[in-house]
Structure 1
């Protein structure tokens, strides 16, 4: 197998604008199940304790089950023969993938090529049966759920948030169309600064009861059903992409209002059962019972890979059209022509569509991404799905040579090694 050289990638430069988080190794074996000392509401999100916490979310925070149903799991061909390591070219030298996983705090890696698993490896406290926190990969699953609900005519993307949720009519999202919500082109004044304790995203964590400690001083624990309606509007933002986690939670509330079902049950019926998931997933629940669609889902590595394969197959799982083909075609074919607020290398046209990142690399590559190193990479040209679940020390890396650019470089080197 050829071992191509990986250089500084223009796509990695594009991803510098996306914002992610990194972590330090805890040194715990994959089978370790003892709750670590010092884990609490102020520490669970960050390294080194997050490596255990991310694989034990139902013990850390209240969670609602996303049930897989009674049907037999849909097999992933090649799993029994998949390699547990791969030699790739890294900085010009042949390097074991296992070494790079350890250096970048990757807890689980599954690579599917042309529909067949070729590499599967676990580290930290993750096992094939354990779920792992997905952070904002949850947003992409929320978008797919919205696609299914829209296909049944239960929501109209031209209608506004206020049309479905009167409680949000006077909020920062009230007059935005669902189409703008899916593309995060709404006019809310949401601030997604993970490093600032007074940012909206961190105040939401405190209001939900998901984060405690000194940074939450002065924030009442109320939950999203109270917190989201109080977020104001910034009219000049409407129509321009600004990344905002709360916007995905707004979409989940719309889906609940439109269907009369709780969000976790919608994901179960419309995604998890239809892709033939192997295990139940879960989603964290705030103090008011709101399920956190923006970043609270936790699922097994293999089931997350099934989501990636669903996307690569334009919404089809086996013989079942789970998501309308046109919805995925719309995502893959976006030309990135609308304004983009982040740095982008020459020759790339990145975009954000239906809670999916489009790399704009000319190859149709798209990704679901979450802080602390979660990613589903879908490469239509290469026929590859790559899933990494990680436990970086903080949201944007938190360790030397750990973060979005390095993870993207790793993804590209894996794709290259499989050509």
Structure 2
């Protein structure tokens, strides 16, 4: 009996030593993996808890895996020698990117210049292997998936939403063409006011079960398959660009109907496995099983940089043309409008095409953007891709000097520095 107790004691001591060793070797990473107190359905989207939540999405919300497949990742030349620090011009003075990343709540930043990684750095709880919520960068990946499905002749952009999804016939999107939907020129009465609890975008969050708390009182948790058909139409809106997240979810539903495949599986088969992704991605799933194409994807920084390089290469990965070059040329070469409804430099003609933001800078630059600071910047003229993942305290910034204007300034300074 005593011998057995001694053996058990030594075994327990051994386990304790191994546990201690694991803690020591994991260091700060172990502490970062601890779920912060107070994180729940009402708080996960916003600072400071979002910095942990965005890098642990499968622990926060139900998610479906987007598998990378079994082949080796496509190479990122220069990755091993990429700089961890860079000096840029900031308001007329030199500034270090590491400091600006902390000030701007940037969790990861990767720059590819002339096909080689020039800079890669992580902050917060993000690591090279860990995925991060993309928010509306997901929309651009939805557009690329639509490009693949369209190239196979499975959808016709001149047909209407109702032609593919009868359930949406009487909704705000039913009579719109798929081309209208891709450019967000549909006639739905969607309201994208993130600060208003009664806006369509926030009611969708509550209906999906992705947001809970006082702001969701009285909103039934039914999911998108019921929520989207109930969104009405606004007279006179059709033909004008108005940003609406639900429009991307409608396109995902169309793609599912046209192919008989779940949206996440389409992304997996047509984009993720073909770009040679390094890690599996994921996408959040609502209470009805609808995969949230408008803002639910989570992926690694390196893999969204690969998406950016795919776009810069006009749909090519290595020698393989996985998307039509004409689809990307159509995005890069468009002429925008001087009457753009959003803030933009006066010398530009911005536009929105195929779920991408065209800067209208005369150089073909275009971006995938998401709230809370997510970005893929694609600049054909300078042959540059900049991938950025962030955790701004709120959707539009939420802290002094943090937001879209500072992000645009930073992207411009980085592009100039690597040029």
TM beyond 0.5: yes
SS in 1 for 2:258: helix
3-state SS of the aligned residue for 2:236? helix
Secondary structure class of the residue paired with 1:118: strand
Task: Choose 1 or 2 for highest CA Rg.
Answer: 2
Instruction: Point out the more displaced range, 389-398 or 89-98.
Output: 89-98
Change in 2 beyond 3 A, CA 1:367/1:30:
farther
Structure 1 residue 320: Cα displacement: 1.1
Question: Map of 1:35-74 to 2, 5 A cutoff?
Answer: 35-74=35-74
Instruction: Provide the C-alpha distance between the structure 1 equivalents of 2:267 and 2:41, rounded to a whole number of angstroms.
Output: 27
What's the CA shift for 1:339? Answer: 5.5
Where structure 2 has 5 or more consecutive residues not aligned to the other structure, the ranges are 1-26
Deviation at 1:29, TM superposition (A): 5.4
- The correspondence of residues 290-369 of structure 1 with structure 2, limited to 5 A, is 290-337=290-337, 340-369=340-369
- Asked if the contact 2:338/2:348 (under 8 Å) is kept, the reply is no
* Equivalence for 2:9: none
Encode CA deviations 1:222-260: one digit per residue, 9 max, x unaligned: 000000000000131000000000000000000000000
Partner of 1:6: none
Q: In the TM superposition, what are the counterparts of 1:111-130 in structure 2 within 5 Å?
A: 111-130=111-130
Q: Which residue of 1 aligns with 2:131?
A: 131
Per-residue deviation, 1:337: 4.2
Residue by residue, what CA displacement relative to the aligned partner does 1:47-93 show, whole Å, maximum 9, x if unpaired?
00000000000000000001111111101000000011101111111
Alignment of 1:379-390 (within 5 A): 379-390=379-390
Separation (CA, whole Å) in 1 of partners of 2:229 and 2:251: 13
| Distance in 2 between residues matched to 1:243 and 1:91, nearest whole Å | 31
Cα distance in 2 for residues equivalent to 1:333 and 1:232: 33
Give CA-to-partner distance per residue, 1:248-275, whole Å, 9 cap, x none.
0000000000000000000000000010
2:345, 2:112 → 1: CA distance? 28
2-side partners of 1:116 and 1:363: how far apart?
20
Higher mean alpha-carbon deviation, 342-351 vs 315-324, is at: 342-351
Q: Can you give the 5+ residue segments of structure 1 that lack an aligned partner in the other structure?
A: 1-27
Q: 1:334–1:267: structure 2 CA closer, same or farther, 3 Å change rule?
A: same
Q: CA RMSD in A?
A: 1.1
**8 Å CA contact 1:30, 1:122 repeated in 2:** no
Whether contact under 8 Å (2:375, 2:388) holds in the other structure is yes
Match of 2:257 in 1: 257
CA gap 1:30/1:392 in 2 versus in 1, 3 angstroms: farther
* Alignment match, 1:234: 234
Higher relative contact order (CA 8 A, sep 6+): 1
As a proportion of its length, which structure holds more helix? 2
Distance 1:229 1:368 in 2: 27
Q: Is the 8 A contact 2:48 2:393 kept in 1?
A: yes
SS for the counterpart of 1:127 is: coil
Q: Distance in 2 between the 1:239 and 1:338 partners?
A: 16
Match of 1:280 in 2: 280
Matches of 2:121 and 2:94, distance apart in 1: 19
Paired positions, count: 392
Q: Report the Cα distance in structure 1 between the residues aligned to 2:91 and 2:329, rounded to whole angstroms.
A: 35
In the alignment, which residue of structure 2 is the partner of 1:75?
75
Q: TM-score, normalised by structure 1?
A: 0.92
1:340-364 Cα shifts (integer Å, max 9, x gaps): 3224432210000000000001111
Give the alignment's TM-score, normalised by structure 2.
0.92
Q: Equivalent residue for 1:403? A: 403
Is the partner of 1:221 in helix, strand or coil? coil
